[in-house]
């Protein structure tokens, strides 16, 4: 059983108490999940401090031989929107500024892009539900382990990590490069516990050699 951090303890504190250095090979890939304007401060569905994930992700991008970025790419009447009976305000609508990557994200370091949520009747939180197939892309590059950061911890990051594990990839969650919606207090911490219980490792970008 994985316990949540004690009062005053963060997941980052717990990770750094037993630091492990990760030496990368060509069988490692970085997955950047939905670092888009609408999920950052000032966007239609902002995650608190969502833009804080940009710097740590930029800092490790060049260390990976493969960097894949996912992004929501919704039609105007997507099923996740409140007007269509969903949970969220309209966001990341195709062709809008909100759907663009954060302007400070180093897009030149991204090798491949996966777009998801393009079918107005499909939620598609996981990058593995996008197009082109993320699983096929990773397998074609003989990837065995993925490092995941982005937005948001308790939704698209969690779904992508859990699907990565289901597809047989090792998964490492970059805890300094994620932020949570926390629609209910503690959702982000619970998502981290769920990912760890499923077999994911927790690390920070500082642990990538």
Residues designated as active site: 34, 116, 156
| 199, two tokens | 């077999």
Longest distance between any two alpha carbons in the chain, whole Å: 47
What letters, b where the CB count within 10 A reaches 16 and e where it falls short, cover 5-30? eeeeeebeebbeeeeeebebeeebbb
The whole-angstrom separation of Cα 47 and Cα 182 is 9
**Tokens read off for 162:** 């859990």
**β-strands 67-72, 112-116: how paired?**
parallel
In the three-class reduction of DSSP (H, G, I as helix; E, B as strand; rest coil), residue 146 is classed as strand
Rg, Å, the chain Cα set: 16
Q: In what order do the strands lie in the sheet with 201-203?
A: 112-116, 67-72, 28-33, 145-151, 170-179, 201-203
d(C-alpha 172, C-alpha 207), whole Å: 11
């Amino acid at each position: 059983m994985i316990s949540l951090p004690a009062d005053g303890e963060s997941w980052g504190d717990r990770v750094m108490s037993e630091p492990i250095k990760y030496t990368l090979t060509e069988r490692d890939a970085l997955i950047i999940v939905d670092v888009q304007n609408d999920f950052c401060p000032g966007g239609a569905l902002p995650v608190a401090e969502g833009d804080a994930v940009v710097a740590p992700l930029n800092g490790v991008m060049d260390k990976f031989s493969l960097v894949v970025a996912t992004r929501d790419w919704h039609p105007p009447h997507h099923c996740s929107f409140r007007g269509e009976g969903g949970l969220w305000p309209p966001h990341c609508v195709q062709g809008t500024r909100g759907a663009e990557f954060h302007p400070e994200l180093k897009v030149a370091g991204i090798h491949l892009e996966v777009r998801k949520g393009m079918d107005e009747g499909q939620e598609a939180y996981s990058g593995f539900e996008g197009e082109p197939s993320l699983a096929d892309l990773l397998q074609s590059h003989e990837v065995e382990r993925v490092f995941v950061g982005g937005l948001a911890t308790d939704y698209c990051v969690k779904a992508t990590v859990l699907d990565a594990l289901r597809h047989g990839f090792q998964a490492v969650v970059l805890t300094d490069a994620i932020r949570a919606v926390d629609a209910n207090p503690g959702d982000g911490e619970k998502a981290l516990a769920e990912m760890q219980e499923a077999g994911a490792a927790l690390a920070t970008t500082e642990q990538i050699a």
